[in-house]
Structure formats: C-alpha cells, structure tokens
Amino acid sequence: MAPNLLQPPRGTHDLIGEDFARHHAVIDTARRIARLYGFAEWATPIFEDTRVFGRTLGDTSDVVTKEMYTFEDRGGESVTLRPEGTAGICRALVSNGLTQGMLPRKVFYAGPMFRYERPQKGRQRQFHQIGMEVLGAAEPLSDAEVIACGWHIQRELGVDEGTVLEVNTLGDTPSREAYRAALVAYFSAHREALSPESQVRLDKNPMRILDSKEAQDRALVADAPTIFAHLTDEARAFFDAVCSYLTGFGVPFRINPRIVRGLDYYSHTAFEFVTERLGAQGTVMAGGRYNGLVESMGGPPTPAVGWAAGIERLAMLLEASGRTPAPPRAVAVIPVGDAAEGAALEVLQALRSAGIVAEIAYKGNLKRRMERANRIAARYAVILGDAELTEGRAQLRDLDAGTQESILLAELPARLS
C-alpha cells in the first residue's frame, strides 16, 4: 500500500463487487416483500433539523448525547446526519399533512445512517438500514403484521436460520411506571452485587440492567421481577393479541422479558431478531411500538409501530450462508477485424433491446477479446467474422461447454433469451 494514500474516513467503507451485490440484494428483497405487504417506499433527507432527533430519541440516550453528527450549516442552522430512520419518517408524515389523510400509512425505507461510534464488526459510522413503519394504527394486528413482514424478508433472503425472534412488551405508561419502581426496589436491595456499570444504570436507566452482559449482573437479572406482574389489563390483552396474531401469521417466536429498548419513544411491543453468528452485534432486526413519537413531532396523537434492520449485518449473514448473488452473465460480442465492428454494434443493441446483457471489449484481437470474455465470466461469445457476415451469420460459442455453432444473426436474440 502506497504511503499517504487517502483512506476512507474511519468507520466508513466502500461497497464494491460482492459487498455491493449483497447490500443490493438485501434492499431489493426487502423492497419486494414490503410491497407484498402493502408498504410504500419513502425517501426522506439524510440530514434533518437537529431538533427532529434531539426531541424524540430522548435526551438521555447515548445516541443523542454522544453519537450524533451535528453541525451548523452556512446559514447557522443546526443540522444532524440522521442516526436512525423513524424520526425522519414521522417528521415527514407531519410536515406533509398526512396525519389528516388516509391512515394507517404503511411505509418502507432504506438508506444510510450515521453515528459517531467506535467501529467494530457489524458497526460502522456510516451504516445502512432498511426499515418499515405502520403509522396511525393502534391495533395489535399491525404489530404482528410488521413483524411478520420482517421475518418474511429474512426468510426470503435465506438468513433466517440461526436467528430467533424474541418478543416482549414494555406495557403502557402505568404498567411501565409500576414495573420500573419494582425493578429499582429489587436491584437497590442487591446494589453491591451489581457491576459498576449497572450501578450507574440503576440511577439513570434501570431497565437497561436487564440486558447487561456482565456475568455478575446476569445472575441477579435471572431472578429479577418481569413486567408481566405489573401489566394493566389493557396492556396484557394487547400483548396476548400480538402473540396470537404472530402465531396466526405462522411466525415462530419466543417471549423474552429481558428485551429493552434503547430509544425512549417505545411502548407496548418490543422485539428483536437475534443471532449468535455476528459476535457482539447480534441484533439483526429490532423494533416495537411508539405511540408518542408523532405527537412529539408536532402532529396529532398517532399510534405507530415499526422496525429497522442493519443492512451490513444482513449482508454478513448472506455471505456466511454462501448466498452472495451472482451477477447476470453476459454475452460477449466479438468482431474479427475492423470490418465487422459495425455489425457487432448492431448485434449488441439488438441483444440489449431484448433484455440480454451484452458486452464488447473496447480493443484487442480475437484472442484478447476471448480472454476478456472469460474474465467477465461471459456465458456466450458471438464471434463475427467477415466470411459468415456476408451470409448474415455468426459463430455462437457456448463458453461453458466449449461448443460452437453457426447461427443467423436474426435468430440471436431469441436464441439467447
């Protein structure tokens, strides 16, 4: 590697070749399945007024306090590269007056997100997410449908093996307050036994102790009270309905009362698809219900539910399962001698118009162009020599089989379709 070579900024990476093929396959598949479920795709700006995130993600979350790319633009406005997708979608719903229109709205999105974090496997500073939201639906069927669609996408990608859907409820506000008090009481009684990190959490965000990775915490967490004893009747009925709809959709899941949400706007349903195959960054897809977010964005009270998934993590699973999609194989059109070039261009365009991937090497004799055809993994070569051309024919060579035949140019597109 040459010295002083420009490198991509820390925590970013170039998507080239098979990396991009996997990345693209994730988005394409998600987009296609989302459409089957009736979701429409939105694209919102990758930077927003800083208040879009500051107000909604919760003032205490690390994402807001330490990890946002925030700066003043030339007009003195504070803008932020989006650290997640949901806030922008909700802002767009409000900005465009869609809270007044037909609800619910089912939205799919894909694109880059930015967080100033220490990079490691499955965690970059510029990363990419797909996500979906059902805006304006309070019914548990919408929670289940959104989860079912996420599960369907993973199954379609072939990355569902080894991944488990874990579901929990965070309850409604009364449930949550009662549970929070019970948790604080329980952990306070065992304060000395907690890890130093969790002692801090006890004061700041006690629910977070539940997903601590510290061995000494886990024993305590195992015996900690769960939210189920503190759910209101409504919250319990809601959760039971979600679970029953999931079963109805055929989605396998297990209840995990330790699931907590990082961002503050969630209530009721919380879920994660987790895998052991990605090391510490094992969450593949995560989401839940956020009934207060649209209102905090200045809109009317609008219940909503959704999820986001890391494209890089899904792409790593694709790679690990050997499912990198292969690009379509081209037909290499090869003129022999200058006189055949005109005919070659006509053949190229005829093939392309028929939807067939066709390429021509920009230079070289027959041998060079055959080598080139091989390097680009072409499936066929169409060899145009003067002798055959006078009869309107060419040689069609099957590069896998090594066989060759004479064919009428007019029959080429149909033959190769």
Partner RNA sequence: GCGGCCAUAGCUCAGUUGGCAGAGCGUCGGCUUGUGGUGCCGGAUGUCACGGGUUCGAGCCCCGUUGGUCGCCCCA
**What character string, x for contact with RNA (CB under 7 A) and - otherwise, covers 298-317?**
----------xxx-xx----
Least distance to RNA, CB of residue 67, Å: 6
Q: Residues 41, 62, 240, 411: which binds RNA (CB under 7 A)?
A: 62
Is there a contact between 129 and 309 (Cβ–Cβ < 8 Å)?
Answer: yes
Per CB under 7 A, which region of 18-26, 104-112, 167-175, 400-408 contacts RNA? Answer: 400-408
Q: Residues 152, 261, 268, 289: which binds RNA (CB under 7 A)?
A: 261
- In angstroms, the CA 198 to CA 217 distance is 8
- Cβ nearer to RNA, comparing 5 with 102: 5
Q: Residues 31, 55, 208, 277: which binds RNA (CB under 7 A)?
A: 208
Q: Residues 338, 367, 414, 417: which binds RNA (CB under 7 A)?
A: 367
Residue 194 binds RNA (CB under 7 A) = no
**What character string, x for contact with RNA (CB under 7 A) and - otherwise, covers 229-258?**
------------------------------
- Cβ nearer to RNA, comparing 99 with 291: 291
Residue 392 binds RNA (CB under 7 A) = no
Residue 134 binds RNA (CB under 7 A) = no
Question: ∠ CA(124), CA(129), CA(130), 5° rounding?
Answer: 165
Residue 402 binds RNA (CB under 7 A) = yes
Q: How far is CA 235 from CA 202, 241, 272, 289, 347, in A?
A: 25, 10, 19, 12, 66
- Cβ nearer to RNA, comparing 105 with 369: 369
Residue 390 binds RNA (CB under 7 A) = no
Least distance to RNA, CB of residue 233, Å: 29
Per CB under 7 A, which region of 30-38, 99-107, 297-305, 384-392 contacts RNA? Answer: 384-392
Is there a contact between 82 and 47 (Cβ–Cβ < 8 Å)?
Answer: yes
Residues that bind RNA (CB under 7 A): 1-4, 7, 9-11, 61-63, 67, 84, 115, 117-124, 127, 129, 197, 201, 205, 208, 211-214, 261-263, 272, 279-281, 283-286, 308-310, 312-313, 336, 365-367, 370-371, 373-375, 381, 383, 385-388, 395, 397, 399-402, 404
